[in-house]
Amino acid sequence: MTSLDRRRAGSHPALVSLLLGTSLLASGSAPVPAGDRATSSLQGTVTDPQGKPVRGAGVHVSGHFGGIQREVRTDDEGSFAIDRLAAGEYTLKAEAVGLHPTVRTVDLEPDETLRLELHFSQVAGQNVSMVISAPALEPAIDMRNAEVFNKTLFTRDDQLLQQMDAGINAGQHEGGGKSLEIRRFGFNLDHGGVNGGLKVMVDDVQQNQGTQGHGQGYLGALKALSPELVGEVNVINGPFSAEYGDFSGLGVVQIRQRESLADELTARLQGGNFNTWRGFAAYSPNVQSVDSYLAYEGSDTDGPFINPGRYRRDNVNGNYTTKLPARQKLGFRLLYGRNNFYSSGQIPLDQVVAGRLDRYGYTIRPTAARSGWGHCRRTTSSPLQTGMSCAATGS
């Protein structure tokens, strides 16, 4: 202490005594734990209600005397370790997602390593709200207008569906006189109604025959259609629709015929190989407030077969629609078709591969009883009446 300090202290003895007493009280007021040195540790594992280790659980340690706060997380084995703790009382709290927290109080002695297990006894209740939204599945619709059919020379009735280019594979069967063979999206629909079916409608009238003996959904009536009379086609690309019902599993084809033709007189004549010819003629008068036409289509072909198919088809179509007040119409429609054909038969593929049979058949026809080869006739009339008769022949 300097002379100046001494003089100041001597002049204020009461102040020095007060400061000294305050200093002694402050140094002795804080309690000192029994183990002041941080030489203890806690180690252990955290387990779930089934006794399995919990990975990533949080372990929180708080001391009761000095405000100590420590937190660690368990490893892959569910283990944890907290070092450098002073002796005293501690509270451990373990928490994990989906489990009720568990709490435990322990006393640590100096230089002690305490091993313990924190066990979750209950699974926490969880409330999860999930909202799933999706737009209603609306089938895609492809549209084809009359231009597609006006620019095509048709020689076969299956071309009506082929020209739409809508994923519908249609082919002739048994020489052309029977119903078309339909493929759709890789599925074999046979004659139109198998494996979900393809529903075909002409002016809202179903063409699939529900009780045909050859198989449900038979589409033989399509042969009465003439492509020149098709106005538009809408193709609905599945899935099954309650609106259309049976045979709509793989789509719906809605064919609408014209009510009149652009020209009063229309004529068309075609010819080709295999004695093939086709003719179309129509009369559509220009009458005020009336749309009408009368049309005939005839075709004949032997096909590529060694035994001529002699497929002959005749269709007669007519329409009369008159306009009424209040945007209404009254119409009448005629649809008639017939065909004759000699079935092309079916031959074994292995014999064709071996070169014993030509792929287009053979010249000498076996007896009718063994071959099933015969002469068949089909008729179709509006609204939808179809008949077919076959007679075996040896000529």
Following DSSP, what letter does each residue of 251-281 receive, concatenated?
-EEEEEE-SS-SSSEEEEEEEETTTEEEEEE
Would you place residue 72 in the very low, low, confident or very high pLDDT band (cuts 50, 70, 90)?
A: very high
**Least confident residue range of 152-156, 166-170, 309-313:** 152-156
Cis peptide before 366 (omega within 30 of 0): no
Q: Is residue 155 within 8 Å of 299, Cβ to Cβ?
A: yes
pLDDT digit string (tens) for 176-209?
777 778 888 778 888 777 777 888 888 888 888 8
What gap in Å lies between CA 113 and CA 110, rounded to an integer? 9
Give whichever of 120-134, 287-301, 332-346, 374-388 has the largest mean pLDDT.
Answer: 287-301
Helix (H, G, I), strand (E, B) or coil at 298: strand
Q: Looking at the predicted structure, is the pLDDT value of residue 370 above 60?
A: no
Q: What pTM does this model have? A: 0.57
Q: Looking at the predicted structure, is the pLDDT value of residue 344 above 90?
A: no
Q: Looking at the predicted structure, is the pLDDT value of residue 295 above 60?
A: yes
In 77-178 the beta strands, taken as DSSP E runs, fall at 79-85, 88-96, 99-108, 113-119, 141-145, 168-171
| Residue environment code for 15-52, b if the CB has 16+ CB neighbours within 10 A, otherwise e | eeeeeeeeeeeeeeeeeebebeeebbbbebbbbbeeee
What gap in Å lies between CA 85 and CA 113, rounded to an integer? 10
Joined together, the tokens standing for residue 372 give 């099933």
The predicted pLDDT at position 279 comes to 92
Would you place residue 156 in the very low, low, confident or very high pLDDT band (cuts 50, 70, 90)?
A: low
The predicted pLDDT at position 305 comes to 85
The percent of residues in the chain predicted with pLDDT above 70, rounded, is 72
Q: What is the mean pLDDT of residues 156-181?
A: 73
Work out the number of other CB atoms within 10 angstroms of the CB of residue 143. 11
Pairwise pLDDT comparison (391 vs 270), residue with the higher score:
270
Give whichever of 23-32, 70-79, 158-167 has the largest mean pLDDT.
Answer: 70-79
What gap in Å lies between CA 282 and CA 151, rounded to an integer? 17
The predicted pLDDT at position 68 comes to 76
pLDDT digit string (tens) for 135-147?
655 566 666 666 6
What gap in Å lies between CA 34 and CA 375, rounded to an integer? 116
Q: Is residue 313 within 8 Å of 337, Cβ to Cβ?
A: yes
**Least confident residue range of 12-21, 63-72, 214-223, 354-363:** 12-21
Q: Looking at the predicted structure, is the pLDDT value of residue 59 above 80?
A: yes
Contact residues for 56 (Cβ-Cβ < 8 A; gap 6+): 73, 74, 96
